[in-house]
Structures are given as C-alpha cells and as structure tokens.
Structure 1
Amino acid sequence: MKENRLLIHDLQPGFAQNGNFDEIVEDIGTIKNCIGCFTCWIKTPMECVLKDSYEHMAEKLAACDELTIVSKCTYGGPSAYVKNVLDRSIPYMHPDFVIKNGEMHHKQRFPQHIAMKVIFYGDGLSETEKETAEEWSEAMAVNFDAAAVETTFCRDVVEVCQMLSEQGIPQDTICDEEQKKACLPLNRQEEGTMALISGSPKKKYSTSAKMLEELKSFLSKDQAVTELRFSDNGLAENHLQALAKAETFVISFPLYVDSIPSHLLRCLTEIDTYFAEQSCTKSVYAIINCGFYEGEQAKAAMKMVENWCVRCGFTFRGGLGVGAGGMWHSIKDVPPGHGPKKDYGKHLSELAEKMEQQEDYGCVFTTVNFPRFAYKMAGESGWKQAAKKNGITL
C-alpha cells in the first residue's frame, strides 16, 4: 500500500509542488493563532473552532504515514509559522492522559505511528541551538506518538532541496515570516524597572498572568514594575518602548507543543530585530507553566528562551518551569507557599529575590504538592464533564 506523505514547511508557497508529497501545508497568509480554548476537544472533536483553512490539521495528520517538517531554526525550535501549524494540530491527540517514559502525555486517538522527519535550516546556528532543536523534536515526537524522529540541519534552501531530492529551486525562495521593522530610537533605560510579560493568548483565566500576579506578591513594594501582555502577533510601539526602558524582563507563558506559543515567538523575533545592533543590558527570567504534571517538560522551551537571549545580547538569568498548570484556575485562591502550592511558593519567593538583585537563579522545575494520579483523574473527569455539556462523549 502506498504511504501517505505530509509536508509542513515555511518556505515560499509552491516550493515543493513537484515533490513526492500527498499533502502540503504552507503559509498562504491566513493562519490564526491557537487561543487555548480546547473547543477542539470538548465541542468539535478533531476540528479547530478557528476557520482559516487550518482547522482540519488533525485529519491531515491522521491520514499520513510520514510527516516531514521543514523550518527555519528559531532559537533552537521551529519558526513561528510552523509552530503555529503544530499548535493548531492538538486535536490530533485525545485530551485524556497516559504515562510515557515516566512522564504525562496525551492519549493517542489513532493506532498509527507516524514516521517523522524534521529538517531545520539556518546559517550560523550554534551548537546549543542545534542541541535544543533536537531535544524539541524528540519531545514533540513523544507527544505525537511518532514511530521515530530524524532531525537534520541545512545551511540554506539549496541543501533543503537536496535533502528532499528536489532540483532547480532558487535560494531566494526562502520565506522569512517575520517582517523586519525599522529600529525605533531607544529611550533611556530606567534603573531597576522590571517588565512583567504575560505571553498567554488567553485574555481571561490565564495561568501565565496569574503566576505573574503571584510573583508580584513576593516583590518589594518599591520595586518599579511595568506589566505587559503579548496575546497577539506583533508588538505595538508602546510595548517596545516600555521594554527599552526596563532593566529586567520576566516572561511568563504556557508550554505549547513542547515550545513557545507561536504568537509569542513572533513577538520575541520582533524584539530581537528591535534591539539589533544595540548594546542593551537586560536581565531575563522565564516562568513556564506546563499542562502536564512534570515541570521538567519545559526544559527545551527554557533553553529556547536562553538561546533568544544570546541572539539579542541579553543575559539569561534562569527561570521556573511549573507542572500541572491546568490546576491553577481551580486553586487560584490558594496563596503560594500553602497546600498544593507549597513548593511552588518557595521557589517563587527565591526567584523574586534573585530578580530584584539581578542575580542568576538557574533553571528550576517543580510541580504541585498533589499526587500525579489524582491530577490525571481530575483532569480527565473535567474534560468528560465539559464534553458532556456539549453532547460529546470522549
């Protein structure tokens, strides 16, 4: 039986039309960002609620035997466009949980195990970026229950074509998904100002925003704070000017497909461009919340933030990876340091102290003081109840 081959890429549209692929997903300028609503699990299974020609990504994955991903390597992960496609592909997985290799992951809907190939391109990639990219590919393959994953690196599109046995595709077909902005003049940095950045797409019930709120409770009252929310593609000029003034960045975001959410990735690349060729001293910390139980599953995303700092010329000071982020709405009134937030509160207090001193914190990973089996049962019960209200049986 002929195998079905699916290609997801961020090169110029039409790049691989003559290739040996049955389905090609490419940037036609219509994709919307995943908004974390989970409607694709509890109301319209296998179909995203956002209608833009990418709502059937789960069906495309279900139909393929081999998945090939071609992407610009961006801080040790995929480009914003490819990441966006993968973020929109979560209905391919079932919301229920299973334990794989000692970690929590989503249950698979389908019996097949896709063979996965990831081809990254980019000139001047550091060894750290390559290592992070390989780590991300392996983690994603586990989540997608792939049979195997093969990760390779190319300098440019010509090598990509050779890898795919394509011919005659000029190098200028690389599609840079980020429009370069003119570098605006930098305002004077205000000593001690801390920018608290929520990178969640959610405007309500955001765990990332809640964790920043909890962090503030550990900061001294005279700490100057600027609060920003990056929930859309691209940044407003006032966002960039606020960042120019700040001395410290604290970026809080949810883990999406083992990485940075696509909209936030676009914002980070814009910041990279904005501060290009500038000599700016910035200390950066990250708080990453993971819906799975183990905070350690945020390791690759934490490394991507560090790689971004290197590219920007900032100083990465470390961060906190927190598991069981799905609990935060139900325990929102529990203060850090108590009950299921006991260990989390201890780490958050230590992190706040390091931030105010602009000292290295390192990368710390934690979870709730709550049994994993109970978190799994509660999560699955919640999915089933929500689906039942919509007449859906999981």
Structure 2
Amino acid sequence: MDIVILDGCAASHPVSQQLRQLVAGRALSVSHFALAGINLAPCTGDFDCWTRTPGICRTRDAAQEIACAMRNARLVIFLSPVVFGGYSADLKKAVDRLIGLVHPFFTKRDGLTRHRPRYRDYPPMLFLGLSDRSDDATSTTFREYAGGNAINLLASRYVCRIVSPQADDCPAQLAAALDSALAADVGDVFPAPAADALAAVCRADPGPPLAAPATAAIFIGSARPKGGSTSEALARGLAAALEDKGTRCTLLHAAAFIKPGAAAERALATMLAADLLVVSAPLYVDGLPYLTTRALERLGRQLAALDVGPRRLVGILNCGYPEAVHNRSALRQLRHFAEQHGLAWGGGLALGAGEIIHGRPIDDHPLLLRRPIRALRLAGAALGAGLPVPEPAIHLMTRLLVPAGLFRRLAAIRWVRDARANHLPRAALDLQPHSGTT
C-alpha cells in the first residue's frame, strides 16, 4: 500500500476529491478512510491497548484496519479543516485511537518525555489543514499541533501545509504538498516548545473584571466513567473553590456527546446558560479529546446562531507526561475557540503526570498534590470574583509533581504491573501485532 488518507472533511469535500485524483495521477495506490461516514467509538482512555491487548485497541471497529493500513503505508496523510487550531472531531476520533502503535514505556527525547517506538520504523506523515487564513494564529497552532503528532506518533519525517480550499490554485497547493511529502529528502523541522510557550497560552486575556458568575458549567472531557478521571478530580477541586465564592456549579460529562440525543442537548443548554464555562480535559495525542472537540463544535454552532452564552472560558488540561508543557497546543485550541466566539479567555491551568491522581479526590493527597490544590483554590477564588486565573495559580499547577526521570521509571513499573494483572508477561508489552513479529 502506498498512501493512506485519514480524511476528516465532510462527505464529498472537493479538496478530498482533488487529493485522491492527485494520488491516482502518480500511479500510487490509496486507502481512503472517509471518517465522517465511518462508525468509530471514542477512545475510552483505559490504556488496554498497552496492557490488555498490546498494540491493538480492544474496541472492535475500523480502528484496527486504520492502524494496520498505517503500518504498511509509504505515506500517511491527515486531512482536516482547521478547527480552532486543531483537527475536526471526525479526524480526532481516529487519531485518539492510534496510541497502540507506540509503546507504553517512556524515554527522553529532546529534553521531554516521549513514548518509545513499538515498531522499528514508521511512515512519513503529511498534515493538510484547510483554511483560507493561512497566516492567522489558528494556522500556527495547527502547524505546531501537527508537529507534535508527528513526534509522538513517531513519523520518520513530516510535512505540514495549510491549503486554501477557496483559492484558484488549491490543486497546485495540494500537489506541491504531496510532492514534498513523497520526496525522501524533504521534511519540516520537528517543533520544540519555547521556554515560555505554556505560560503564554495559560495567561488570561487583558481586560476589565467581569461580574461575579452566578453559575458555572464545568465540562469534563474524559471518556472515563464518572468518578474515574483526573479531569473530574480537578474539576471538583475548582468547583469547591467556586462554590465557596457563591457560584453554583454544574458538572457535565463528555459521555453526553457519544451520540446525538437528549443528553447532549441538555449539556449544551447548561453550557449556554452559564456565566462561566470551564473545560477540564485530558490530553489525547497532543490535543483535545474527540468528545471535547465534538462538544465544542456543537457549542460553537449554537453560539454563532444565538445571542446568549457564557462570558468567560477557562481551561484545565492534564497529560500523562510529567512535563505540563505538553498541554500547550490543546490550551491554545481552547483559547482560539474563545476568541472565535466572543468569550473572554480567563486563563488556563496545565498539569503534568495527571495519571498519578487517576480519579481520586485531590484532597486525599494533601502533600503530593499541595501545589495543584493551592492552584485550584486560587483560581476558584479569582474566577468566583469575576477575575481571571491568577499568575501564581498558573505557575503552581505547572510545577512537576515528581522528577521526570523518576516518573518514567515508576511508569514502567505500573505498565508491567497492569499487564500482569491481565495475566500477561512483561514480554507481551512489546508485541507488534500489525507486523506479525514480536
């Protein structure tokens, strides 16, 4: 197989058709996954693809076919409109299900914790973002986000291009991007975060104080069951501090958006009626999880059509790496969403090593989590008074919970322990199911 296209565009999008014609014109075979029409379950965040069925997602659907196709591809193309700096929900749903292609064990590369490769080699990747504003901030975020995916999905090299679908030379832009990705000696430089990258996006927009919020909707972006996620533990910590200031908080769960229906409509209505909206979510493959993206896409359409909505948006992101800086692109996506829909960006909190909490109440660990606890209390007190997240709270939350090297060693022990609990030996973690070798 030559080319795999993970297509996050709406059905029969003209750019998708043009891209496939270009591939066919180069006498290359193509496997095209039109994701808007494929029934894929959301990632459940349970890590079974590492410790129960190593290398394979246990949810049986098209994700296995997609992963196998990627392993045998000469080039993988990720195609999506630029959606507040990230991918469409359709593409993100597929990307979230790819983590079985990497190994659970951690290593250090270029100063940050990353996953080890599961396979000896990985294909190059081409990321195509569709936007008629190639020079705006959302396109910059898309490029960094794509670069992060290329690093963490272990692309041998990558190319990212923003293509204008309305431009007369759109086919030429696509052809140039495809030729660059197919050229063995061409590739973009893998991105490295600037020293102040996380602090810059966490910082609130300048502006006058808002009225103290009477209500807050706190959206929990994890797909894990209620009571089982770090995102919910952090959300409850902030809610307690907000309620101390008199703000009535409602917690909403991402599961409401698994399928259309009354649950999703009720959640949207709650978000639209709130004075303050908080998104507390885990980092899934460098960005907002699929269910969070889907909820925001739907909320964005409502905000564009109605003259109501929250006044301020705040983000709380946590990742499984020890360094909080991995959360930067996902927080930028939230900030772009606020900017596009007239919400004040109230600031962000970013936590590394979130799996240490694993859904347990944060007050159960007053010593280990003393800084996140303090950060949430400071943030809640400020937000409840109509102020943004204060700088001291931002800095407290980003501090390492444990030294990165120690975290990597402890994580390896955890993966081996979890595998043995599933009656698997340590060697099973190294399985390579999509190449037929171990």
CA distance in 2, matches of 1:160, 1:120: 12
- Asked if residue 37 in structure 1 is aligned to residue 46 in structure 2, the reply is yes
- Asked if residue 299 in structure 1 is aligned to residue 328 in structure 2, the reply is yes
Partner of 1:384: 416
- Asked if residue 288 in structure 1 is aligned to residue 317 in structure 2, the reply is yes
Q: How does 1:53-68 map to 2 (within 5 A)?
A: 53-68=62-77
Partner of 1:169: none
Q: How does 1:125-144 map to 2 (within 5 A)?
A: 127-144=136-153
Which residue of 329, 344, 351 maps to 1:315? 344
Contact persistence 1:195–1:249 (CA under 8 A): yes
Which residue of 234, 242, 248 maps to 2:270? 242
Alignment CA distance shift 1:8-1:391 (3 Å): same
Shift of 1:354: 2.1
Determine which structure has the larger helix proportion and give its number: 2
Contact persistence 2:71–2:122 (CA under 8 A): no
CA distance in 2, matches of 1:60, 1:347: 44
Which residue of 217, 224, 230 maps to 2:248? 224
Contact persistence 1:279–1:313 (CA under 8 A): no
Which residue of 191, 200, 203 maps to 2:222? 200
Alignment CA distance shift 1:56-1:327 (3 Å): farther
CA distance in 1, matches of 2:250, 2:50: 36
Partner of 1:369: 401
CA distance in 1, matches of 2:20, 2:242: 55
- Asked if residue 151 in structure 1 is aligned to residue 160 in structure 2, the reply is yes
> What secondary structure sits across from 2:55 in the alignment?
coil
- Larger deviation, residues 336-345 vs 257-266: 336-345
- Larger deviation, residues 258-267 vs 218-227: 218-227
Alignment CA distance shift 1:220-1:46 (3 Å): closer
The size of the alignment, in residue pairs, is 369
> What secondary structure sits across from 1:358 in the alignment?
coil
CA distance in 2, matches of 1:94, 1:4: 25
Report the residue type matching 1:99 in the other structure: K
Alignment CA distance shift 1:316-1:77 (3 Å): same
Contact persistence 1:196–1:225 (CA under 8 A): yes
Report the residue type matching 1:114 in the other structure: P
User: RMSD between aligned alpha carbons?
Assistant: 2.5
Shift of 1:373: 2.2
Alignment CA distance shift 1:43-1:323 (3 Å): same
Partner of 2:180: none
CA distances 1:135-154 after superposition (whole Å, capped 9, x unpaired): 10111111112232221111
- Larger deviation, residues 89-98 vs 235-244: 235-244
Report the residue type matching 1:264 in the other structure: T
User: Structure 2: which 5+ runs fail to align?
Assistant: 177-210, 430-438
CA distance in 2, matches of 1:110, 1:74: 31
Partner of 2:80: 71
Which residue of 196, 210, 215 maps to 2:233? 210
Partner of 1:326: 355
> What secondary structure sits across from 1:305 in the alignment?
helix
Percent sequence identity over matched residues?
22
> What secondary structure sits across from 1:32 in the alignment?
coil
Contact persistence 2:242–2:249 (CA under 8 A): no
Query: What TM-score results when the alignment is normalised by the length of structure 2?
Result: 0.78
> What secondary structure sits across from 2:345 in the alignment?
strand
User: Structure 1: which 5+ runs fail to align?
Assistant: 167-188
Partner of 2:115: 106
Alignment CA distance shift 1:164-1:122 (3 Å): closer
Report the residue type matching 2:297 in the other structure: T
Alignment CA distance shift 1:334-1:311 (3 Å): closer
